[in-house]
Amino acid sequence: MGRRVILLRLVLLINAPIVENLLLNFRARKPPGETVGMIEEVERENEGKKRFGGLGGVRMREVPKEDFYFTSKMARKVLGSMERDEDAIEVSLDLNRSSLHLLLQGNYLILPTGKQVERSALEHIAKTNKIYIYRQDTFSPLEIMNNNYYKLVPTDRAPTLEISGIQMHRTKNCEPFSDARQKVGEAVRRGDVVLDTCGGLGYTAIWSRRFGAKQVISVEVDEEVRAIRKDNPWSSEMFSESGITLVDGDVFTYIGSIPDNYFNSIVHDPPRFSLAGELYGKEFYRQLYRVIKPGGRVFHYTGNPYSKGKKRDFVGGVTRRLKERGFTVFPRPEKLGVLAVK
């Protein structure tokens, strides 16, 4: 089994209480049968930025061939097979993009590289709602702690991004990648030049190209979001697609540099109002109207934050302000948004 090393340190976050954060490091031992499974809890202060490297945003980081992704659901599945003394299992190591058969040897899962993940490591992962990436003989959660807490959250298909407890995609009766497809389908047509106002994990930009957009400009202001998406396998297409231009910056400022009547379509999927109220305001809507061509379409995701017993009509306010700027607005309640046409 090898010597078990357990270190516990406390992490002091900027403008936040001292908290404990666990980082799994599964050290590999020498052959025969390299084993990945020793748990080591280490300091995480600013670990996210160090781990994810540069934040340029426009170049694709070369994804190592030995990156494997583990979720609690996957870990529980493997543990179940171990309980039944099965000798093989079909799982996904890239967050449900593909699947493959792996061997089981007693209390060990055999990775494609030949290394062995021991049962205790899987038991730890099974208790969390995090995504762990295995890279260079180390498991670590896909999360960043700064002024906010960012993490990738697993679903039955593509992951969503969660920022301080707020998920950035619809996950109820819809998974995040399909959610983006529905939003893009409302606005984008083949040959369009598209503005993706709040790029996030890149799902909107990816689907815009798949719908035939000629060019997509995807803007993202948050460097932690730009960092974490580089390790999301579902985001990889946004870095390899030549028709997608990534802009690191604030779309409220950036849109002022765009010529009049430039875009055929816009997908506006901003954070909730409490986080980015300016992206729901008259001035930003005036800019949207200015940069989109006559006949152009804007899908504006609004959510429905005041639907639970509150009288305020949030979507109605969005609709009114868009109309005041000159748009014709069509409700899209099934997609929690509106379609605005110039």
CA–CA distance, 169 with 72 (Å, rounded to integer): 20
Retrieve residue 1's tokens: 């089994």
pTM: 0.80
Determine the CATH number of domain 170-341. Answer: 3.40.50.150
Angle, vertex CA 225, rays to CA 222 and CA 228, nearest 5:
150
Angle, vertex CA 103, rays to CA 98 and CA 104, nearest 5:
125
User: Residue 308: which pLDDT band, with cuts at 50, 70 and 90?
Assistant: low
**Coil, helix or strand for 331?**
strand
Residue 275's φ and ψ, nearest 5 degrees, are -100, -25
What residues does each domain of the chain span?
A: 10-147, 170-341
CA–CA distance, 52 with 58 (Å, rounded to integer): 15
Closest by CA position to 162, among listed 207, 224, 219:
224
pLDDT for residue 22: 32
**Coil, helix or strand for 69?**
strand
108-156 pLDDT tens trace: 999 999 999 999 999 999 999 999 999 988 899 999 998 899 999 999 9
133 neighbors 61 (Cβ within 8 angstroms): no
